[in-house]
């Protein structure tokens, strides 16, 4: 082992304020005793049940479990705060000795970084973004001082709306030896991957996200810091013990249980963003609409005071950002509902051009919601349309395999599962397969005009054959040898179980044969071949309106 390279925990520890390093957190009797009790006389609560007479969980395990599946990061890497404003304040309290440290922010940017810095008596160094709001990593890095503890980057950036260049951010992560915070409050509107993917490579990186924007829960005040588990642990020691109320935890869990509804609303807002960008750009009063990856537009007006006053008169409030660096004459306009956006266009004298009509679904669509004591699964599909799959089961390898089904069968497929992964992968894999089978069966409807059969393919050294008959007979054959016990986070025993459960619920013949040297290739070949077989079998044959059967019915 190279003794000059510290392990990530020692590296982070060295950056902490000395008084925080060994902080002893406030502890509760329930922390000390994990077993479930019948009578709670430990916390001086009122014993009469009102739904809120008990303190909330300080660790929010249910929310973290759900967010872990949705965000595809381990729960131990998630800190939950009272809005992301709480972790913004905490990073100063953890890493910046008051009166003796500085932070750098790329301006113009979100105002809370400098407010939190001022409260914590930390110097603020502004590194200007260029005229088009792009990030110059070398210029920013040239401003680092010996007392600089933090760099704040906001991507997509508020108020400019643009994603910062990924390579420029990576250059900062590679070079700066302090803590880099990337605020991804608006990442869900950007269609770009999160920097959480790079946490293993950069333990001094903290990614902030929030439930306030895409998730529509600004009123609940829940934000996240996604970071190395040691940073999460220290943040948890420093925060107020009960920082998220029972009602907020419960309501957030309810909204998170339907992530597909939130994704649909994001899609609609992104469509509206495009429409508004085009409609505003042609107004004579508008000088420039900056390209946005967020849920707002930064718009430069010839006379922003006139535009602002007209909007106020019509009862519409937008944000004047003209005093921010490089934003003279600019208003920041949040994307509203289509009706709200029309009203704003009307007031500004614009033409109300047609709302982005959502892609109309085909008639072979279905959705299945399955809830048991162990899992909660939602599957949605459209056999006649393709869009990138939206998959989150908490099992990374299963997610990867289900994505293969969406991509290679060329169907729209969404699968969300919140399961008891603390037990093992069994219930999640089985219940996803059951819900997927039920959903396919339901989407196929009367099966009129389908190809019915269908595939064999090589996957590097491995090869896989999947034969399917959607005619209605149920039979399952599995002839696949694995060499190890797990592929990724899924046990290999679960793969035959997955396809057997699926074939029973899809009511089909499914014969699967595969061999190869590498288990990952073998099972990926099986999922891809299954997807191709499915694609052929569900495809409608032109001019064929019956079910292809010599019996005339199935
Ligand atoms: N980061 C950015 C970039 C923001 O624009 C905002 C809110 N406007 C926040 C963080 C704060 O979000 P929260 O509601 O989670 O405190």
Half-sphere exposure of 235 (CA within 13 A, CB side): 28
Q: Tell me what pLDDT residue 348 has.
A: 94
Residue 509 within any structural domain of the chain: yes
How much distance in Å is there from the Cα of 357 to the middle of ligand 1?
A: 30
- The radius of gyration of the chain's CA atoms, rounded to the nearest angstrom, is 27
Atom of ligand 1 at shortest range from CA of 84: 15
| Predicted TM-score (pTM) of this structure | 0.88
| CATH code of the domain in which 511 resides | 3.30.230.40
If asked whether residues 139 and 75 sit together in one domain, one would say yes
If asked whether residues 229 and 84 sit together in one domain, one would say yes
* Long-range Cβ contact pairs of 350-356 (< 8 A, separation 24 or more): 350/279, 350/280, 350/282, 350/283, 351/279, 351/282, 352/279, 353/275, 353/278, 353/279, 354/275, 355/271, 355/272, 355/275, 356/268, 356/271, 356/272, 356/274, 356/275
210 in Cβ contact with 244 (< 8 Å): no
222 in Cβ contact with 211 (< 8 Å): yes
Domain boundary among 186, 221, 254: 254
Q: Tell me what pLDDT residue 1 has.
A: 43
If asked whether residues 452 and 419 sit together in one domain, one would say yes
- Which structural domain, as residue segments, surrounds residue 519? 365-538
With a 6 Å cutoff on the Cβ, whether 109 touches ligand 1 is no
| CATH code of the domain in which 279 resides | 3.90.1150.10
Mean pLDDT by 10 residues, the chain (554 residues): 71 96 84 80 95 94 94 96 97 98 98 98 98 98 98 98 98 98 98 94 98 97 98 97 96 94 94 96 96 98 97 97 97 97 93 62 85 93 92 95 96 94 94 97 89 76 91 92 94 96 95 95 95 91 61 45
If asked whether residues 197 and 275 sit together in one domain, one would say no
Adjacent-strand bridge partners of 379: 368, 415
- End-to-end CA gap in the chain: 66
Domain count, the chain: 3
- Written as six digits, the tokens of 459 are 């996957």
If asked whether residues 139 and 188 sit together in one domain, one would say yes
Residue 53 within any structural domain of the chain: no
Domain boundary among 219, 254, 289: 254
With a 6 Å cutoff on the Cβ, whether 218 touches ligand 1 is yes
If asked whether residues 379 and 459 sit together in one domain, one would say yes
Residue 21 within any structural domain of the chain: no
Adjacent-strand bridge partners of 102: 123, 148
What are the phi and psi torsion angles at 549 (to 5°)?
-150, 135
- The single residue listed with the structure tokens 């990337």 is 182
How much distance in Å is there from the Cα of 334 to the middle of ligand 1?
A: 13
How much distance in Å is there from the Cα of 448 to the middle of ligand 1?
A: 50
If asked whether residues 320 and 300 sit together in one domain, one would say yes
If asked whether residues 283 and 155 sit together in one domain, one would say no
Residue 485 within any structural domain of the chain: yes
Helix orientation angle between 112-119 and 85-95, rounded to the nearest 10 degrees: 40
Kindly give, in sequence order, each residue whose CB lies less than 8 Å from that of residue 477, ignoring residues fewer than 6 positions away.
510, 511, 512, 513
Q: Tell me what pLDDT residue 547 has.
A: 57
Nearest CA among 203, 200, 140, 147 for reference residue 168: 140
If asked whether residues 316 and 276 sit together in one domain, one would say yes
Atom of ligand 1 at shortest range from CA of 110: 3
The answer to whether the Cα torsion of 318, 320, 325, 328 is positive or negative is positive
Residue 545 within any structural domain of the chain: no
Q: Tell me what pLDDT residue 240 has.
A: 94
Q: If you count DSSP H runs as helices and E runs as strands, how many of each does the chain have, helices first?
A: 17, 21
With a 6 Å cutoff on the Cβ, whether 219 touches ligand 1 is no
Residue 248 within any structural domain of the chain: yes
Q: How far apart are CA 42 and CA 29, in angstroms?
A: 6
Residue 164 within any structural domain of the chain: yes
SS3 411: coil
297 in Cβ contact with 280 (< 8 Å): yes
Residue 434 within any structural domain of the chain: yes
CA distances from 17 to 45, 80, 90, 95, 286 (A): 35, 21, 12, 5, 48
| CATH code of the domain in which 76 resides | 3.40.640.10
How much distance in Å is there from the Cα of 343 to the middle of ligand 1?
A: 26
Indicate the pairing of strand 123-128 with strand 102-107.
Answer: parallel
How much distance in Å is there from the Cα of 218 to the middle of ligand 1?
A: 9
If asked whether residues 304 and 424 sit together in one domain, one would say no
If asked whether residues 141 and 273 sit together in one domain, one would say no
If asked whether residues 335 and 374 sit together in one domain, one would say no
Domain boundary among 254, 281, 304: 254
Atom of ligand 1 at shortest range from CA of 218: 14
Q: Tell me what pLDDT residue 546 has.
A: 60
């Amino acid at each position: 082992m190279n003794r000059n390279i510290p392990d990530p925990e020692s590296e982070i520890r060295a950056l902490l304020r000395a008084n925080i390093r060994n902080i002893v957190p406030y502890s509760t009797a329930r922390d000390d005793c994990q077993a479930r009790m019948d009578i709670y006389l430990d916390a001086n609560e009122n014993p009469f049940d009102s739904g809120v007479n008990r303190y909330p969980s300080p660790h929010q395990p249910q929310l973290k479990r759900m967010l872990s599946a949705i965000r595809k990061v381990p729960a131990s890497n998630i800190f939950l705060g009272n809005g992301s404003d709480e972790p913004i304040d905490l990073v100063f309290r953890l890493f910046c000795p008051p009166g003796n440290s500085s932070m750098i922010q790329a301006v113009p940017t979100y105002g809370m970084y400098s407010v939190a810095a001022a409260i914590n008596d930390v110097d603020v160094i502004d590194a200007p973004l260029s005229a088009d709001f792009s990030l110059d990593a070398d210029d920013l890095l040239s401003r680092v001082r010996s007392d600089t503890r933090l760099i704040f980057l906001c991507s997509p950036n508020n108020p400019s709306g643009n994603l910062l260049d990924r390579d420029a951010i990576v250059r900062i992560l590679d070079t700066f030896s302090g803590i880099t915070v990337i605020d991804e409050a608006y990442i869900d509107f950007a269609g770009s991957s999160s920097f959480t993917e790079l946490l293993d490579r950069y333990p001094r990186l903290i990614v902030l996200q929030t439930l306030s924007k895409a998730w529509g829960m600004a009123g609940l005040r829940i934000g996240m810091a996604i970071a190395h588990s040691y940073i999460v642990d220290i943040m948890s020691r420093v925060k107020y013990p009960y920082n998220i109320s029972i009602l907020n935890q419960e309501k957030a869990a309810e909204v998170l249980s339907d992530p597909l509804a939130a994704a649909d609303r994001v899609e609609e807002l992104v469509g509206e963003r495009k429409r508004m960008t085009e409609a505003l750009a042609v107004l004579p009063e508008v000088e420039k609409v900056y390209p946005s990856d967020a849920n707002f537009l930064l718009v430069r007006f010839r006379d922003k005071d006139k535009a602002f006053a007209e909007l106020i008169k019509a009862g519409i409030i937008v944000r004047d950002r003209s005093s921010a660096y490089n934003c003279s004459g600019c208003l920041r306009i949040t994307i509203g509902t289509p009706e709200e956006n029309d009203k704003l266009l009307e007031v500004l004298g614009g033409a109300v051009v047609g709302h982005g009509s959502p892609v109309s679904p085909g008639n072979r669509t279905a959705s299945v919601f399955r809830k048991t004591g162990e899992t909660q699964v939602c599957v949605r599909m459209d056999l006649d349309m393709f869009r990138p799959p939206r998959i989150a089961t908490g099992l990374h390898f299963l997610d990867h395999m289900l994505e293969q089904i969406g991509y290679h069968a060329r169907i729209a497929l969404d699968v969300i599962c919140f399961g008891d992964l603390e037990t093992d992968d069994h219930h999640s894999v089985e219940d996803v397969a059951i819900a997927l089978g039920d959903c396919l069966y339901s989407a196929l409807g009367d099966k009129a005009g389908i190809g019915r059969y269908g595939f064999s393919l090589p996957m590097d050294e491995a090869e896989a054959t999947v034969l399917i008959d959607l005619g209605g007979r149920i039979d399952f054959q599995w002839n696949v040898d694995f060499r190890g016990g797990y592929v990724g986070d899924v046990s290999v025993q679960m793969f035959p179980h997955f396809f057997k459960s699926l074939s029973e619920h899809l009511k089909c013949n499914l014969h699967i044969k595969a061999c190869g040297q590498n288990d990952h290739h073998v099972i990926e070949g099986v999922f891809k071949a299954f997807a191709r077989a499915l694609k052929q079998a569900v495809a409608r044959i032109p001019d064929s309106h019956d079910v292809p059967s010599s019996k005339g019915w199935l």
